Every structure is written in structure tokens, then in C-alpha cells.
């Protein structure tokens, strides 16, 4: 199958590598405003050819939109205007916005709203890896709004990525990802800013940083180009969980201030439950 990928960065690039490896894709057009990324993707054999939007779409069976969620929401109606019976999918971390943007588009049924639960703090085609998605969840939203053949094509792509498929309503998706993914990023950003504020000697951070610190602060390296639009589109859900998070931190503060170490132990023992859930 021939595929156009709009946005040949970390996610688009990783999908391209995996689908070529699995021979799900036999030709990939790369479409990207960032010509440097595009050239790099070509050099790295991530794509077969650079293309403009119209040429790519006309020659492809599947169009994958892999750009930040605000740009994705903007470009999707244009892409749907250009297709005949091709399938279009996105990979964005928020789903209500994009689904609503094309609710009444005559070609709505050619679009499948998708979100692979994988990413790293890196960006660009250089960071792309084929073995990225294996074992993670691939979420398809509002499947009843997609045509059967389009849905089936995307389901096969998700299987080629070695992901396990989950179906979800777009609004539910945005609530759950606020809890499980978006808040982790805010926590990590705020932790980085805390340490940068308190620890004036950068060299001490570098010298003392343990694997624990590096792991907790890893997501703080993620770029604002991707994350500001996500927080913007999922504002209400993110604020809701952020308020809860601040109140959870206040419990630790209160336990410490009052020398209530039994309560502190209780809070930690409760947090330990995450082990049983994650390490099933």
C-alpha cells in the first residue's frame, strides 16, 4: 500500500519505519513544511519521496497526519477536501477537537481518529525508531463515524505496529489521557522548573542526578510545539486533574508540617498500589 505521511517527525517517522519493516507500506511519501526534516527523513530511508500535499494524497491509499494537534485539526478538512476514497488517520494526543472539526464534513467517514500511546521526549526523524509502539495501546475513537473499509484499513495498520487496539469515545479518551498522560508532563515540567529554581548550581544537578531523578524529569524535555496545543485542546480535563494533583501534594506537605508520619506512610502505601496496576 502507498502511504502519505504529513509530518515526518518522531511519530510519523517511527510509523513509517515500522510499516516498511512489516511490508504494510511499499511506498511512503513524506509531506512536511520543515524541509530540513524532510531531507533528513529521505536520507534516513524513512520516506521514499518528498511530496506536496496534493501529489502525496492523490497517489496514496492512506494519509497519516502526524503533526501537532492544533495543526492537525486545521489541515484535516483540507485533506478530506482533496481525497476521493482514500483513508485518512491522525495520531494526535487529543481527540475531541479534531473529531468535532470534521463532524459535518461530507468525507467524514473516510477519517479514522487514532492515538498511539507512545512517545518520547525527543523529536524529529532522527529520533524515529521502528520498535517504538510494540505492546502499547492504540486507541481508535468514535469508530461508528468511520466507514467500515477505512476502519478496517487502520485496524490493520495498528496491528502492523504491534499495538493492542482499544476503542473509545473521543470525549472519554480526552479525560483518560488527561489522567494518564497529560498530567505526567505537567508534573515533570513543574519538577524541572522547581529544581532549576532551587538549585542554582547547574553543575550540582548534573553531578548528583540519579536514575530516579532523570526518570521523573525525562518528560520535561518534551517540546512546547507539541504540548502547548495538547494542553490547550484538553484544558478542562487537564485543569481538573491538575487541581487534584496539587491537593495530593498538599497532603504530603501537611503530613510533614504536622510531623504526622503515620499519615505520610499511609499516603506512600496508597501510591505503592500503582505497582500492582502497572506490573500486571
Of residues 251 through 270, those in contact with a second copy by CB under 8 A are 251-253, 256-257, 259, 261, 264-265, 267-270
Grid-cell match 518522531, residue found? 10
Q: Does 170 bind a second copy (CB under 8 A)?
A: no
Nearest approach, Cβ of residue 140 and a second copy (Å): 13
**237 burial type by CB count under 10 A (0-12 exposed, 13-18 middle, 19+ buried):** buried
Tally of residues, the chain: 280
Helical pair 235-257 and 183-198, crossing angle rounded to 10 deg? 50
Of the candidate spans 8-16, 26-34, 103-111, 117-125, the one that interacts with a second copy by CB under 8 A turns out to be 117-125
Q: Does 190 bind a second copy (CB under 8 A)?
A: yes
* R_g over Cα of the chain: 21
Of 53, 83, 137, 147, which lies in the binding site for a second copy, with binding defined by CB under 8 A? 137
Nearer to a second copy, 23 or 280 (CB): 280
Grid-cell match 505520610, residue found? 264
Of the candidate spans 31-39, 42-50, 143-151, 189-197, the one that interacts with a second copy by CB under 8 A turns out to be 189-197
Residue 133 has a CB neighbour count (10 Å cut-off) of 22
Question: By C-alpha distance, which of 22, 221, 227, 46 is closest to 126?
Answer: 46
C-alpha neighbours within 13 Å on the C-beta side of residue 154: 30
Of the candidate spans 8-16, 29-37, 61-69, 177-185, the one that interacts with a second copy by CB under 8 A turns out to be 177-185
Q: Which of residues 211-250 bind a second copy (CB under 8 A)?
A: 211-224, 227-228, 231-232, 235, 238-246, 248-250
Contact letters (x/-) for a second copy, 142-161, by CB under 8 A? --------------------
Residues 6+ apart with CB under 8 A from 54: 82
How many residues touch a second copy under the rule CB under 8 A: the total is 92
Q: Which of residues 37-56 bind a second copy (CB under 8 A)?
A: none
Amino acid at each position: 500500500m502507498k502511504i502519505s505521511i504529513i509530518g515526518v517527525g518522531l511519530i510519523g517517522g517511527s510509523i513509517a519505519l515500522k510499516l516498511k519493516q512489516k511490508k504494510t507500506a511499499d511506498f511512503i511519501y513524506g509531506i512536511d513544511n520543515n524541509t530540513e526534516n524532510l531531507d533528513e527523513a529521505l536520507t534516513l530511508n524513512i520516506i521514499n519521496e518528498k511530496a506536496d500535499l496534493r501529489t502525496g494524497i492523490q497517489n496514496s491509499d492512506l494519509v497519516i497526519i502526524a503533526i501537532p494537534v492544533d495543526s492537525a485539526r486545521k489541515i484535516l478538512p483540507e485533506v478530506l477536501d482533496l481525497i476521493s476514497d482514500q483513508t485518512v488517520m491522525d495520531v494526535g494526543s487529543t481527540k475531541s477537537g479534531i473529531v468535532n472539526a470534521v463532524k459535518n464534513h461530507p468525507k467524514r467517514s473516510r477519517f479514522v481518529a487514532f492515538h498511539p500511546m507512545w512517545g518520547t521526549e525527543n523529536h524529529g526523524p532522527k529520533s524515529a525508531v521502528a520498535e517504538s509502539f510494540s505492546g502499547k495501546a492504540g486507541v481508535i475513537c468514535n469508530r461508528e463515524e468511520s466507514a467500515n473499509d477505512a476502519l478496517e484499513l487502520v485496524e490493520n495498520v495498528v496491528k502492523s505496529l504491534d499495538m493492542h487496539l482499544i476503542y473509545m469515545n473521543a470525549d472519554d479518551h480526552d479525560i483518560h489521557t488527561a489522567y494518564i498522560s497529560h498530567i505526567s508532563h505537567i508534573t515533570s515540567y513543574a519538577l524541572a522548573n522547581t529544581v532549576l529554581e532551587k538549585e542554582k548550581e547547574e553543575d550540582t544537578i548534573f553531578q548528583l542526578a540519579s536514575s530516579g531523578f532523570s526518570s521523573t524529569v525525562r518528560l520535561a524535555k518534551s517540546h512546547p510545539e507539541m504540548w502547548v496545543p495538547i494542553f490547550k485542546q484538553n484544558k478542562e480535563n487537564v485543569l481538573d486533574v491538575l487541581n487534584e494533583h496539587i491537593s495530593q501534594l498538599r497532603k504530603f506537605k501537611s503530613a510533614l508540617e504536622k510531623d504526622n508520619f503515620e499519615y505520610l506512610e499511609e499516603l506512600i502505601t496508597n501510591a505503592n498500589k500503582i505497582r500492582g496496576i502497572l506490573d500486571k
